[in-house]
Structure 1
């Protein structure tokens, strides 16, 4: 019997996940999106997989450019994560007006100065997966920015602290 999509979604909302900001710099602008479907694939070579909506603009730009950066977000970035998960968002630079950032050395993509870590990546390949694609990324640089900061976690559709308590809205 097929699994009901709403049951599937409800079940996976019970899985706590770290939150990252994926950014791509192309010839026109900077594109970014919030992702919580990031997984370590291999240490040799260093590979991660990121799930992206197949029809989404970030996947299209990443496929064309072939390079990106992932900032592992700290708990203080809940508002940034919300901004980048909204539909119809403007340029990444406009969403980060009050947030310190710089460009990653290899990809040239925006990374947050006060994130936990950064993965500067090259696209290895895209793998079709239902209504999403898995971007298989080779990690070329891994600056650790603030390993002591508390991580941003998503659970049951909300950003929470390490105890599972919802983060206050600021």
Structure 2
């Protein structure tokens, strides 16, 4: 018997996951999306995998451009995570008007300055995985590293800090 989609989502919601912002700079604009399906794959070479909707615009742009940045969001970035998870969002730069950011040197993609960490990446390949694709990314630089920044987590459908308290409310 197939697993019920709601039950499956509720089950995986029990797993606390870090929240990241994947950004791509193409010739026209900056594209970004919130992702929580991220995993370390290899240290040599440094690889991470990111889950993206297969039919989504961010996956399409990433495949075309071939480079991106992945910013691990801090607890105060809960509003950023919400903005970038909404459908029909405008340019990434417009969603970050009040957030300090810079560009990663290799990809030119946006990275948040006050994040715990940001990775500048090159796309190795996309792997089909149901209604998603796994983007296998080679890490080429670490333009932001702030180990003291509190991480943003997604747990039970909410953005929380490392204590489990709702994040971004202060």
Interval containing the TM-score (normalised by the shorter chain): over 0.9
Q: Give the 4+ runs in structure 1 shifted more than 3 A.
A: none
Give the Cα–Cα distance (whole angstroms) in 1 for the partners of residues 49 and 124 of structure 2. 10
Q: What TM-score do the two structures reach when normalised by structure 1?
A: 0.97
Q: Secondary structure at the match of 2:143?
A: coil
Q: 1:5-84 residue pairs with structure 2 within 5 A?
A: 5-84=5-84
1:147-162 correspondence runs (5 A): 147-162=147-162
| Cα distance, 1:168–1:136 mapped onto 2, change above 3 Å | closer
Specify every segment of 5 or more residues in structure 2 that has no aligned partner in the other structure, as ranges: none
Note the C-alpha offset of 1:89. 0.2
Unaligned runs of 5+ in 1: none
> Distance between the aligned counterparts of 2:168 and 2:53, measured in 1?
28
If the length of structure 2 is used for normalisation, what is the TM-score? Answer: 0.97
The separation in 2 between residues aligned to 1:50 and 1:36, in whole angstroms, is 8
SS of equivalent residue, structure 2 residue 139:
strand
Whole-angstrom CA distance in 2 between matches of 1:73 and 1:107: 19
Q: CA deviation at 1:107?
A: 0.3
| SS of the residue 1:58 aligns to | helix
CA RMSD of aligned residues (A): 1.0
Is the aligned partner of 1:114 residue 2:106?
no
